[in-house]
């Protein structure tokens, strides 16, 4: 239910973006059927927003045709840049079981009248005229002068029987069909939206000024490194261009940056960047700011764009690797100025942009890709000096981190935060509860406890854990992620059981987690985790008072942690205990092994 509950929150949030006069999106609480229909339409909004970057509700609504007499087409999208026409059929299910198991029917697939509609037919074979949205689609198609160049593709937001899949092209008129079953919807629509990385732009167009008052043309250079050949373009671009880019693409354009979109907000430099835009009418910004570094697979520059004193730069698969703080602040200003109708404050202000292109098409080999990633990591480390980058940030893009994040979400519907703040958009928008976010620093402590190292888990320095050598030792790969989540869930449940036993101490949490980890079996079904954890914790914590009695008897523990003392006034003997030191001490692990037999 975890991932489906997040999907419902997202669908309802998108539904409530509708203006109040869109009554169909705002049914009364007791209108169950209308609510289900509204969620079905909002589900299509999710696909349009994530896949095509359509941020505005009204823009998305224009493409939705789902209604009576829609020719089996629930929505469409015309991609003029890539010359593709998408026809969408969607089947939203109103329970988690149906969403994962119920499949689209043969009859529903046959109901798509794509051939008739693209041929300009205004009514179905039954003689009934298509609805107004389909009529608008037909008119839109008629207005495209080069329509024969377009390729048609069908998107099915539904589960499809295995037996039907080989016949899909035939059933849908011979057009390519892309199936978004429940797994793809979770991994390719829900997760990217929650993480703010939902629109992966393949080509970015940046317009620059080339008049006498601007920096004008670029500097182009071809450095050779030990990893790869590169092309570097350096040019000044209007600050509003950068502002628009990060405002729209957020984390999707920061994949190689060690910090996420919202984590950049913690930097103290934001106010200085902001003031150099708002407090000056002239271009001091170009002097005060160190600039932005962007990676690309290819960069094309042209000053022959049919616009006076303008040039354009086309960047393929862009990623900002340095200067994210600058870009983030500009995007916040852009959003604010747009609301206040004060975009003129960006006028005449430019920022240095350095674009590093790897000329991917010339080097499409596995070795080149590995070398490229090594070079990217070195550039990231060398250039991110404007504000502190912690060791945990440097590990954010390690392969094991990416694998962990993907595996944990796929199996548990939880969000492992490899970059600080990367799920901030999802939390702020109400898409996901903060309780589903896994803090990376807490997680690595759980890993240590799971690896029979409860002392380091409790007392070690997080900064040291994320040092490259230590981190690779703790997390060489993601293969044990199910065990780590089992232990993490157990760690979070300890407080619930501790109330039943006054002798279970706060300091003992990682020790208890170590014992729990040794009772984990890979064969456990994920659906049984909660019950298994509760059962095992009840047994472990129930035995904890006896364990603490046991460890008091060993001579080494008596010497260091449980010393005999005498009351000066009464002369009575008592034991001076130092539980804080014991649970950070060298005898803890051997005591756990001896008592709990692992």
Three-state secondary structure along 385-414? CCCCCCHHHHCCCCHHHHHHHHHHHHHHCC
pTM exceeds cut of 0.85 = no
* Torsion (CA) 588, 592, 595, 598 in degrees, nearest 10: -150
Pick from 163, 195, 227: which residue ends a domain? Answer: 195
Residues 183 and 211 in one domain: no
- Residue 353: CB atoms within 10 Å: 24
- Give tens-digit pLDDT for 173-188: 788 999 999 999 999 9
What pLDDT does residue 502 have? Answer: 46
- List b or e across 298-335, with b for residues whose CB sees 16 or more CB atoms inside 10 angstroms: bbebeeeeeeeeebbbebbbbbbbbbbbbbbbbbbbbe
209 with 191, same domain: the answer is: no
Q: Which residues contact 447 (CB under 8 A, 6 or more apart)?
A: 474, 475, 480, 484
| Residue 174 located in a structural domain | yes
What is the SS3 assignment for 150? Answer: coil
Quick check: is 567 in a domain? no
Q: What is the pLDDT of residue 363?
A: 55
Burial class of residue 259 in the structure, from the number of CB atoms within 10 Å of its CB (0-12 exposed, 13-18 middle, 19+ buried): buried
Domain C-terminal end among 146, 175, 195: 195
Task: Please tell me the predicted confidence (pLDDT) of residue 266.
Answer: 60
Measured CA angle at 64 (ends 97, 41), to 5 deg? 30
Q: Strand, coil or helix: what is 301?
A: strand
Query: How many Cβ atoms from other residues are within 10 Å of residue 378's Cβ?
Result: 12
CA distance 45 to 14: 7
The low-confidence residues of the chain, meaning pLDDT below 70, are 1, 212-217, 227, 262-269, 359-369, 381-389, 498-503
Q: φ and ψ at 86, to 5 degrees?
A: -105, 130
383 and 313 share one domain? yes
CB under 8 Å to 89, separation ≥6 — which residues? 72, 73, 74, 104, 108, 109, 112, 154, 155, 156, 157, 158
Q: Give the per-residue pLDDT at 265.
A: 65
* Structural domain count, the chain: 3
Assigned domain for 125 exists? yes
CATH at residue 180: 3.40.91
What pLDDT is recorded for position 388? Answer: 52
User: What letter would DSSP give residue 286?
Assistant: H
Residues 214 and 340 in one domain: yes
**Does residue 467 sit in the same domain as residue 507?**
yes
Cα distance between residue 249 and residue 237, in whole Å: 18
Residue 503's domain comprises: 408-562+581-596
- Whether 457 is in a domain gets the answer yes
184 and 208 belong to one structural domain:
no
Q: What is the pLDDT, as a whole number, of residue 570?
A: 76
Residue 361 makes CB contacts below 8 A (sequence gap 6+) with: 297, 298
The answer to whether residue 573 is domain-embedded is no
Q: Are residues 346 and 258 in the same domain?
A: yes
142 in the same domain as 61: yes
Instruction: Give the Cα separation of 509 and 504 in Å (integer).
Output: 8
Do 474 and 542 belong together in one domain?
A: yes
Domain boundary at 389, 423, 458, which? 389
Q: For position 533, what pLDDT does the model report?
A: 97
In a domain, 399, yes or no: no
- 400 falls within a domain: no
Angle (CA) 375 256 246, round 5°: 135
Residue 9 lies in a domain: yes
11-58: pLDDT as tens digits: 999 999 999 999 999 999 899 999 999 999 999 999 999 999 898 999
Nearest to 218 by CA among 322, 286, 308, 303: 303
Query: 155 and 292 share a domain?
Result: no
Q: Same structural domain for residues 155 and 178?
A: yes
How far is it, in rounded angstroms, from Cα 271 to Cα 88? 45
pLDDT value of position 216: 55
Interval 189-232: pLDDT, tens: 999 999 988 877 788 889 888 776 655 567 899 888 776 778 99
Q: Is 278 found in the same domain as 161?
A: no
């Amino acid at each position: 239910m975890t991932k489906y509950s997040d999907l419902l929150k997202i669908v309802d949030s998108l539904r409530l973006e509708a203006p109040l006069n869109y009554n169909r999106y705002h049914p009364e609480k007791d209108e169950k059927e209308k609510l289900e229909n509204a969620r079905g339409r909002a589900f299509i909004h999710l696909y349009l927003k994530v896949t095509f970057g359509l941020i505005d509700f009204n823009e998305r609504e224009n493409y939705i045709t789902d209604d009576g007499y829609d020719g089996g087409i629930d929505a469409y999208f015309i991609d003029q840049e890539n010359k593709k026409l998408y026809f969408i059929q969607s089947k939203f299910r109103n329970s988690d079981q149906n969403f994962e198991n119920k499949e689209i029917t043969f009859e529903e697939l046959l109901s798509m009248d794509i051939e008739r509609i693209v041929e300009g037919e205004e009514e179905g074979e039954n003689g009934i005229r298509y609805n107004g949205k389909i009529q608008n689609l037909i008119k839109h198609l008629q207005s495209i002068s080069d329509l024969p160049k377009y390729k048609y593709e069908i998107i099915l937001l539904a589960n499809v029987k295995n037996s039907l899949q080989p016949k899909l092209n035939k059933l849908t008129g011979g057009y390519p069909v892309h199936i978004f079953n429940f797994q793809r919807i979770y991994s390719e629509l829900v997760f990217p939206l929650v993480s703010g990385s939902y629109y992966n732009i393949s080509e970015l167009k940046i317009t620059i000024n080339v008049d006498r008052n601007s920096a004008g043309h670029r500097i182009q250079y071809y450095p050779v490194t030990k990893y790869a050949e590169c092309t570097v373009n350096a040019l000044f671009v209007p600050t509003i261009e950068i502002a628009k880019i990060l405002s729209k693409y957020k984390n999707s354009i920061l994949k190689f940056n060690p910090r996420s979109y919202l984590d950049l907000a913690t930097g103290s430099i934001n106010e200085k960047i902001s003031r150099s835009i708002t407090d000056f009418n002239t271009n001091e910004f170009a002097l005060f700011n160190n600039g932005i570094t962007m990676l690309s697979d290819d960069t094309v520059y042209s000053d022959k764009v049919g616009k006076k004193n303008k040039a354009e730069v086309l960047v393929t698969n862009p990623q900002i690797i340095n200067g994210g703080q600058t870009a983030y602040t500009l995007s916040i200003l852009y959003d604010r100025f747009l609301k206040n109708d004060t975009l003129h404050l960006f006028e005449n202000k430019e920022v240095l942009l350095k674009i590093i292109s790897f000329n991917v098409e010339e080097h499409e080999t596995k070795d080149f890709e590995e070398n490229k990633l090594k070079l990217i990591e070195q550039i990231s480390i060398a250039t991110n000096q404007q504000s502190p980058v912690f060791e945990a940030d440097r590990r954010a893009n390690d392969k094991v981190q990416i694998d962990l994040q993907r595996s944990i979400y796929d199996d548990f519907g939880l969000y492992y935060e490899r970059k600080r703040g990367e799920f901030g958009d999802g939390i702020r928008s109400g898409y996901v509860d903060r309780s589903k976010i896994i803090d990376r620093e807490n997680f690595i402590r759980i890993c240590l406890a799971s690896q029979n190292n409860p002392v380091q888990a409790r007392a070690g320095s997080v900064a040291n854990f994320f040092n490259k050598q230590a981190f690779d030792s703790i997390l060489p790969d993601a293969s044990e992620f199910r065990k780590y989540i089992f232990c993490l869930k157990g760690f979070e449940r300890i407080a619930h059981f501790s109330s039943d036993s006054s002798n279970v101490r706060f300091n003992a949490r990682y020790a208890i987690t170590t014992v729990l980890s040794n009772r984990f079996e890979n064969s456990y079904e994920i659906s049984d985790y909660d019950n298994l954890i509760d059962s095992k914790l009840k047994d472990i914590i129930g035995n904890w008072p006896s364990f603490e009695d046991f460890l008091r008897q060993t001579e080494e523990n008596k010497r260091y942690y449980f010393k005999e003392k005498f009351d000066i006034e009464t002369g009575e003997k008592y034991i001076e205990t130092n539980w804080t030191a014991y649970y950070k001490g060298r005898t803890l692990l051997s005591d756990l092994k001896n008592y709990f037999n692992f």
